[in-house]
Amino acid sequence: MNSSRTSAFDHAGRWLIFALLAIYTLYNIGPVFWLLLSSFKSRLDLFAMPPKLFFTPDLSGYESVFGVGAAANNASSVGVLDSLINSIIVSVSGTSLAVIFGTLAGYVCSRFNFVGKSDFMFFVLSTRMLPPVAVLVFYHMMFARLGLADTRFGLILVSIFANVGLATWIMKGFFDGVPREVEQIALVNGYSRMYAFTRLVLPMVKGGIAATAGFCFIFAWNEFAFSSILTTTQAKTLPVKISAASGATGLEWTQICAAGVVLIIPVLVFFYLIRKHLLMGMTFGVLGRR
Amino acid sequence: MNLRTRMRLAVSSLALCAGFAASAAQAETTLTFVWHAGTCADALMDIAKDYPDKSVKIVPALVPYGPQWHDKIASEFAIQGDAFDFAMWDSQSTAEFAAHAVKINEIFDKSDYLKPDLFPPASLSRYGEYPDGSGEFFGLPANQDAYGLTYRKDLFEDPKEKEAFKAKYGRELAVPQTYQEARDVAEFFTRPDQGLYGWAQMGGRDYDFATTASNSFLWSFGGELYNPETFEVKGYLDSPASIDGVQFYVDMFKYGPPGSTNWGFDEVNTAIQQGQVAMAMQWFYFNGSNADPNVSKFADKLAFGVLPGAIGRDGKFRRQFSVGGQGMGINKYSKKLPELTKFMEWYFQPEQQKRYAAVCQTGLKAVLESPEWQNLNSYNRQFSQALAYLNDYWHLPEYPVLLDELQQEISAAAAGTKSVQQALSDAAEKHERTLQRAGYEIKRGESTPEVPDQVISPVGQDEVVPVN
Amino acid sequence: MTNPSHAEHQMQMKRQSSGRLMIFGFLSPSLVILLFMVLYPFLSLVYYSFYNFSALRQGAMKPVGLGNYRFLLSDHQLWERFIFTGKFVFICVALQMLIGIFVGYQLQKNFRGRDVVFTLLMMPMMLSPIVVGFLWRYMLNSEWGIVNFLLSSVGLPKIDWLGQANAALWAAAAADTWMWTPFIILLATAAFRGIPETIHEAAEVDGASPAYKFFRITLPISAPVLFIALILRLIDSFKQYDLFIALTGGGPGSSTETVSFAVAKTAFSYFYTGEASALAVILLVIIIGLSMILVRHLTHISQRF
């Protein structure tokens, strides 16, 4: 079976794949590492040539972000804790609701054929198509009139709206991978649709739910355009609060990098918690071909 | 319930009501302001903390420096909301926001303390008058700034350098009074192999970076952005004098570090702090931190001055450069004008402004004229000199459109993708189209002067008037 | 069935009505919230696109019919922007799909520490877009950035990444690809891991090469999910302009302005709300057109399986 030619080719192929993966990993993680390093550099070190790998750490960036130490009197750092709480509330609520709504909608679009289904799917997709700036003024007007401006509830609504399209489409994709036989067998045996859905099908798409929740959380957490225009003081979220970064020295690079590191931590934690489900994958053909 | 319980109930509810009434009387008024985050906002908050009326709380709503700053204010005005009560905006945005700001003249009339003569007339006009010359103000000077010259005095004072310069150019090495002189000095100090360059200036496409620098050249050579009376742009923006100025600006990039054609103020700061350039055009605002050894490697070797002028093609000397800084405007839709007025009456007292001037730049005449302020640091004196030579962009509501169109062309010229002549005439074309679409009537004159700036600013005409 | 029994008939009716109830119940939350959030802004968008309207100067509003559209469509700069946007979108989506599928394929096998590696690889996607813009601007600085430093240390010339249009296009593409390839990796890994081992084993027994396995088995089965990923990425890259603001400000000239950038500029810097709305409508029409084609293709693919 194995001629020596195939195995040599095999080896070369495997090394090539390994090399490509290594290059990609470097490309992927390198800048993140550079960000982390830069967040501890003073401005002098940041622009030193050649770039420094070893230096005395400067915590001024993190102090500015948290409003402690030398930055205790910074006007922009006041209320960082409040904005963190706002971010958590808005992101968690927005994500959960978007995932729930999207899962439900994705399920029926996967299982049933009804009048207007493709229109519904396309409509849901189209809510993602416009850059928010195009409609920000109108949202501002609408929110102000409804008393939703500068409220967490308003931001949660925005969060759901921004993510439910993504959730629906991804979940539909995952549901399509679950064979219809699963429900059919349940129905034939006298169980209700709801039972089939909640007890049988849903557990099979845990991977999809995890992936969707991960994406939605990222988008909700990092949302900037709507949050910066629609909030002023009460409902400010963390990205808007700590990305303010210009000062007497020019752009406060240390602070920007520190803000970046601080902002990524909750997302990392979230992804770490759901990592097992993320890699669960889909369930094509568990019961044979669909 | 028996009588005793009823009595207790009555007494406790009375007490509760009294408590509510007391706290209601102490109810807080919040005054919210929008500004970009930075040292000046911190300074304002630091001072506001000591405001004697404790029932009024000043709350900052700070945004990142960049488009978000303008957008936040504009968006709130667009919906006629009162999410903020007052805001600091760039002087050039006054025209745009005037329709939504409280006319300060009304406050001047009603207040006992706040009067126009608190501020130098030029400052007041620059940071709040709209339209020009109307005497109607929509903002007060909150933070003054001007474009200036930062240079390495160690290089200028070095005897070896002085000798070499004299040998090559036949005159003394000195801080340049004209851009023509500056070019020689820049050429002299451009030594790439030593990592030293002669001149740093902004060329970035973003915001107002490139045009802040190029306008300073344009005006000093006698050019104009447009004719405010007839709204003609063609023949003014692309007049021979304007082309001279911008061409000189583009040529100066030769003496700048590589890649500097798309620099903003941040990169220029870095170059200054690393000692990479002999001279740089930079806002006075950054002088404080550039002279701070914790930030700047070359802090003790830097000196600050007034930007050069130029000798135009008509042989006359002019010195004009860009104004910066912000004015404080009041949101017309805010319902807290009385409290805000009282706060402003306190905030613009010399005592408070002196504290502010220690960190940023005040507009209060009393402080600006005090010897204390003049001697506060190494550049305040030059700053008050610089105030005589300031010029500004168009004071029209269409300012952001005109700015963006000019930025586009100037940055293209700086990058070399267009000739200066082509860039300026394209810009003029676009400007006239914008003005026409906005409803302005362009009254075309018979001819346009080669050097549009006929009213030469108070610096002398046939001779170079030195400063520094 | 020719003669369904009464009981069976009843069960069928119950199934149908429970089915209909499920459809209605499951769709309404999404539908309600989307309609509520979308109706007013979108209708305003279309409405104001026919007006010479600035939200900042509302007094001067007047109807201009198709005037905004005519003005925009006759501007040759608009076409340049579309071409630039098209180039950017194509490069980004192509790179992200290729790299994402490749890496996702390699990650489907279990190996020690895979969980950690996977979470780390997701990091670029987790960063705030504002920070990503600044980070790449800092790294690509021609004087003090690490990219040019690395280039010069291996003897290559320094490149002015942000000052020339062509280089800037690739710089932005590199940053966007860096940020969003993990999106594709996540979905691709999920799709690939769902294919049961039995199918792979059966194919190997039949003597299939790895290439054959990938192109004839893995890819077709996971095609629907990959297609969804493609459509989502495509739509999102059309919206990209934050990156360009941070990296180049749209310059030099306007050579690195995408259409979304122009919309943002017109809507907020200029505050020409009517004109910005018209531009947004034009952009929307194009994106809808493209997506429709892709979605139709997607339905074909999924129906085959």
Beta carbons of A197 and A183 less than 8 angstroms apart: yes
We report the CATH number of the domain holding residue C181 as: 1.10.3720.10
Nearest to A75 among B60, B290, B296 (CB): B60
The beta-strand segments (E) located in C17-68 are 51-52, 62-63
Q: Which of B265, B204, B203, B207 is nearest to B70 (CA)?
A: B207
> Across the interface, do B39 and A140 touch by the CB < 8 Å criterion?
no
**C89 in the same domain as C235:** yes
Burial code (b: 16+ CB inside 10 Å, e: under 16) for B427-451 equals bbbbbbebbeebeeebeeeeebbbb
Q: Is B411 on the interface with C (CB under 8 A)?
A: yes
CB atoms B70 and C142 under 8 Å? no
Q: Which residues of A touch B288 (CB under 8 A)?
A: 248
Query: Does residue C58 lie within any of the structural domains?
Result: no
Rounded Cα distance between C90 and C173, Å, is: 10
Is C85 part of a structural domain of the chain? yes
Amino acid A114 reads F
Task: Tell me, yes or no, whether C152 and C23 share the same domain.
Answer: no
pLDDT at residue number C305: 54
Whether the per-residue pLDDT at A116 is higher than 50: the answer is yes
Q: Check residue B408 and give left, alpha or beta (phi > 0: left; psi -120 to 50: alpha).
A: alpha
Nearest CA in chain C to A188: C11
Task: Name, in order, each residue with C-beta under 8 angstroms of A264's C-beta and a sequence gap of 6 or more.
Answer: C123, C126, C127, C128
C160 and C29 belong to one structural domain? no
Within 10 A of B336 (CB to CB), how many other CB atoms are there?
A: 18
Q: Do C269 and B96 touch (CB under 8 A)?
A: no
Chain A's closest residue to C183, CA to CA, is A215
- Helix or strand (DSSP H, E) at C162: none
Q: With CB atoms and an 8 Å threshold, state whether A161 touches C277.
A: no
Q: How far is CA A175 from CA A110, C31, C70, in A?
A: 6, 19, 45
CB A38 within 8 A of CB A46: yes
pLDDT at B445: 82
| Phi, psi of B406, deg, nearest 5 | -70, -40
Annotated domain spans of chain A: 2-60, 80-282
Whether residue A27 and residue C224 make contact (CB cut-off 8 A), yes or no, is: no
* Tokens representing residue A180 in the block: 């219809």
The two counts, helices (H) then strands (E), for chain A are 15, 2
Q: Is the pLDDT of residue A121 over 90?
A: yes
Beta strands B29-36 and A250-251 are unpaired
Residue B278 three-state SS: strand
Taking an 8 Å cut-off on Cβ atoms, the answer to whether A263 and C29 are in contact is no
* Cross-chain Cβ contact B265/A250 below 8 Å: yes
**Residue A68: count of CB within 10 angstroms of its CB:** 14
Give the chain B residue whose CA is nearest to the CA of C67.
Answer: B437
Number of structural domains found in chain C: 2
Low-confidence ranges of chain B (pLDDT < 50): 18-19, 21-25, 459-460
Output the DSSP codes for B118-160: GS-HHHHHHHHBSSTTS--BS-EEEEEEEEEEEEEHHHHH-HH
Does C147 map to a domain? yes
Taking alpha carbons only, the member of A97, A112, A147 closest to residue C34 is: A97
Question: Would you list the DSSP string of C73-117?
Answer: HT-HHHHHHHHHHHHHHHHHHHHHHHHHHHHHHHTTS--TTHHHH
Most A CBs within 10 Å, among B34, B44, B65, B272, to test the A interface: B65
Query: Using the beta-carbon criterion (under 8 Å), do A263 and C127 form an inter-chain contact?
Result: yes
> With an 8 Å Cβ cutoff, is A72 touching chain B?
no
pLDDT at A287: 40
The whole-angstrom distance between B2's CA and the closest CA on chain C is 55
Tokens of B230: 């007839």
Q: Does C98 lie at the interface with A, CB-CB under 8 angstroms?
A: no
- pTM score: 0.90
Contact: C232, A128; criterion CB under 8 Å: yes
Q: With DSSP H G I counted as helix, E B as strand and the rest as coil, what are the percentages for chain C, rounded to 5?
A: 75, 0, 25
Q: Is B212 on the interface with C (CB under 8 A)?
A: no
DSSP B213: H
pLDDT at res. B35: 92
- Low-confidence stretches of chain C (pLDDT < 50) are none
Please list every residue in chain A whose beta carbon sits closer than 8 Å to the beta carbon of residue C272. none
Q: Do residues A141 and B80 touch, judged by C-beta distance below 8 A?
A: no
Q: In chain C, which residues have their Cβ closer than 8 Å to the Cβ of B212?
A: none
- In this structure, are residues B368 and B118 in contact, taking their beta carbons and an 8 Å threshold? no
Q: Which of C33, C36, C138 sits opposite A253 (nearest CB)?
A: C138
Output the pLDDT for position A70: 74
* Cβ-defined contact of C249 to B259 (cutoff 8 Å): no
Same domain, C191 and C226: yes
Collapsed DSSP state (helix, strand, coil) of residue A87: helix
DSSP collapsed to 3 states, C107-149? CCCCCCCHHHHHHHHCHHHHCCHHHHHHHHHHHCCCCCCHHHH
Residue C57 lies in a domain: no
At A247, the pLDDT band (50, 70, 90 cuts) reads: low
Phi-psi sector, A285: left (phi>0), alpha (psi -120 to 50), beta:
left
Contacts of A115 by beta carbon, 8 Å cutoff, 6+ apart: none
Amino acid at C164: Q
The secondary structure of residue B178, as a DSSP letter, is B
Q: Report the alpha-carbon distance of residue A96 to residue B228 in Å, rounded.
A: 57
C121 and C233 housed in the same domain:
yes
Mutate to test the interface with C, among A20, A37, A52, A135 (most CBs of C within 10 A): A135
Sign of CA dihedral B125, B126, B130, B134: positive
Q: Residue A1: what pLDDT?
A: 47
C144 with B270: Cβ contact below 8 A: yes
Q: Is the CB of C193 less than 8 angstroms away from the CB of A282?
A: yes
Least Cα distance to A170 among C210, B19, C231 occurs for C231
Domain match, C11 and C94 both? no
Fold of B29-145+323-391: D-Maltodextrin-Binding Protein; domain 2 (3.40.190)
- Token pair, residue A2, equals 């194995």
User: Which one is the CATH code of B146-320+395-455: 3.40.50.970, 3.40.190.10, 1.10.10.10, 3.50.50.60?
Assistant: 3.40.190.10
CB A287 within 8 A of CB A178: no
Q: Name chain B's partners: 3 or more CB pairs within 8 A.
A: A, C
- CB-CB: which of A136, A244, A248 is closest to B288? A248
The kind and range of the H/E element at B176 are none
Question: What is the distance between the alpha carbons of residues C81 and C144, in angstroms, rounded to a whole number?
Answer: 30
Size of interface A-C (CB pairs under 8 A): 282
**C-beta atoms surrounding C164 within 10 Å:** 22
Nearest CA in chain B to C245: B206
Note the pLDDT of residue C107: 86
- Which of B67, B78, B271 faces C269 most closely, judged by CB atoms? B67
Residue type, A248: A
- What are the beta bridge partners of residue B324? B145
Q: Which amino acid is at B342?
A: K
Of B38, B45, B63, the CB nearest to A228: B63
Residue B129 CB neighbour total at 10 angstroms: 23
How do beta strands B277-283 and B197-200 pair?
parallel
Among C127, C103, C128, which residue's Cα sits nearest to residue C117?
C103
Answer whether C152 touches A (CB < 8 Å). Answer: no
Q: Tell me which architecture the domain covering A80-282 has in CATH.
A: Orthogonal Bundle (1.10)
Mean pLDDT (whole number) for A187-202: 90
Contact B83 A248 (CB under 8 A): no
Token pair 């093609």: residue: B313
A-B CB pairs within 8 A amount to 108
pLDDT at B156: 94
User: Could you give the CA distance from residue B26 to residue B427 in angstroms, rounded to a whole number?
Assistant: 57
- Is there a contact between B49 and B355 (Cβ–Cβ < 8 Å)? no
SS3 A148: coil
| CA-based nearest residue to B307, from B391, B428, B190, B420 | B391
How is residue B27 annotated by DSSP? P
DSSP E strand stretches across B353-448: 390-391
Tell me which residue in C57, C254, C269 faces B408 most closely, judged by beta carbons.
C254
Residue C34's domain comprises 1-49
Contact C271 B74 (CB under 8 A): yes
Chains that touch A (3 or more CB pairs under 8 A): B, C
Residues from chain B contacting residue C265 (CB–CB below 8 Å): 404
Range A140-165 average pLDDT: 94
Between positions 65 and 94 of B, the ones with CB within 8 A of C are 66-67, 70-71, 74-75, 77-79
**Do C55 and B415 count as a contact with CB atoms less than 8 A apart?**
no
CB pair distance less than 8 Å for B415 and C272: no
Residue B303, beta-bridge partner list: B151
Cβ of residue B401 closer than 8 Å to a chain C Cβ: yes
Extract long-range pairs of B392-396: CB within 8 Å, 24+ residues apart: B392/B91, B392/B92, B392/B126, B392/B322, B392/B323, B393/B92, B393/B208, B393/B211, B393/B215, B393/B225, B394/B92, B394/B95, B394/B225, B394/B226, B394/B228, B395/B92, B395/B94, B395/B95, B395/B129, B395/B130, B395/B131, B395/B132, B396/B95
C251 near B204, Cβ under 8 Å?
A: yes
- Within chain B, all domains assigned CATH 3.40.190.10 are found at 29-145+323-391, 146-320+395-455
Q: How far is B391 from chain A (nearest CA, A)?
A: 23
List of chain A residues whose C-beta atoms are within 8 Å of the C-beta of residue C123:
28-29, 32, 264, 268
